[in-house]
Amino acid sequence: MRAIDDTTVRTGTSDGTALRGRAAHAGVPTIPLPRHSARATARTARSARVATAVPAAASTGVAELLRGPVRPARVLLSSPAAVYLHVPGERGSGEVVGILTSDAARLPLGCVLFRPSNGRPLVGLPTGAPAEVGGGRAVVGDLAVSAAAWWDPRPRLPGGRPALLPEGVRQLRTTLYGEGVPHSAFTLPGLPTGPGGPLAALRGAVRRADLEAALRTAIRLIGAGPGLTPAGDDVMAGTIAGLVLLGHPAAERFAAGVCSLAAGRTTELSGALLRHAAAGRVNAEYAAVLRGLVGERPLGPAVDRLLATGPVTGRALALGLCTAIDLVERTTRTR
């Protein structure tokens, strides 16, 4: 089998070490490929249309889909940095698997290739084109990707309710909102502004430490804004993940409420990311900020990378994280 750089990938015992080294070089945290998953792959795989598969570091958030039986999928979007595949579900909207280049945002549903984008779409197929996921691979057009290593999109923070550095929280807020600017003045493209807008309503709920009111704003935020991941959804994803990872006692109920509201109101990709957020699975840029807030890594560069994620997504996720921090502080730690 040939890897992306056209060097031969051996299937012996040194295989995993070489691939994990390549993943580390690309900046992707990895965990070893479990032996039982290789056996499961052998049982469920069928003859692929493509003779060889490109290795990737896959998120454990999509391990069940990749290890399971081969299932039909369709292309949601193909770009130079990513191709997203929708896998229909039996009882709902299904799930999404992303094939991402090493310079794309590392989404919790992604298989990260060991190369950057090159300006051309990963596959020359339109939206709706057929694909397959399962048997250890994701196959779309002439591209087949196999899980050669795994990485965990849920950051492991110290303690059930990790203590955040106060100076780190101030730094995050100042970078997001600006020095001396009221939080109520914060806006996001595509979302209504002013005192009657959903962001203002969310801020009001946070000031009152009213989690139920914050949940009611989700009706106005879900699906609001352009793109495959509308800005309102990104705010909610950042809030859900923050509540879960910071140990808010009502996080599970809040997340379930938002995900229930999202059904049929937003895109397949955005709905899938909300469900990952409900499990504490986030993109690598968001996870790096959380690690910075507990003192495990420099915070400033991590915040800058998160805010640079997409034209709106990074700022929306950061707003959601700040919202979660405020809710945790006001509804649990002040008692």
In the predicted structure, residue 50 carries a pLDDT above the cut 60: no
In the predicted structure, residue 10 carries a pLDDT above the cut 50: no
The reply to whether 173 and 322 lie within a common domain is yes
Per-residue confidence band for 12, with pLDDT thresholds at 50, 70 and 90: very low
Helices (H) and strands (E) in the chain, counts: 13, 8
The reply to whether 191 and 276 lie within a common domain is yes
pLDDT for 18 equals 44
pTM of the model: 0.84
* Total count of domains within the chain: 2
The reply to whether 170 and 194 lie within a common domain is yes
Q: Which of 108, 125, 151 is the last residue of a domain?
A: 151
Residue 1 domain flag: no
Residue 195 domain flag: yes
Strands 130-134 and 143-151: unpaired
The reply to whether 179 and 87 lie within a common domain is no
The reply to whether 125 and 182 lie within a common domain is no
Give the residue numbers spanning the domain of 32: 15-151
Over residues 96-139, the pLDDT tens digits come to 999 999 999 999 999 999 999 999 999 989 999 999 999 999 99
In the predicted structure, residue 5 carries a pLDDT above the cut 80: no
Residue 159 domain flag: no
Task: Give Cα separations from 175 to 2, 172, 180, 202, 304 (angstroms).
Answer: 44, 5, 11, 20, 9
The reply to whether 179 and 138 lie within a common domain is no
Least confident of 27-41, 57-71, 179-193: 27-41
Q: Which of 151, 177, 209 is the last residue of a domain?
A: 151
Per-residue confidence band for 335, with pLDDT thresholds at 50, 70 and 90: very low
Residue 91 domain flag: yes
The reply to whether 75 and 202 lie within a common domain is no
Over residues 261-308, the pLDDT tens digits come to 998 889 999 999 999 999 999 999 999 999 999 999 999 999 999 999
Strands 95-100 and 110-113: parallel
The reply to whether 239 and 274 lie within a common domain is yes
Residues 6 or more apart in contact with residue 24 via CB below 8 angstroms: 30
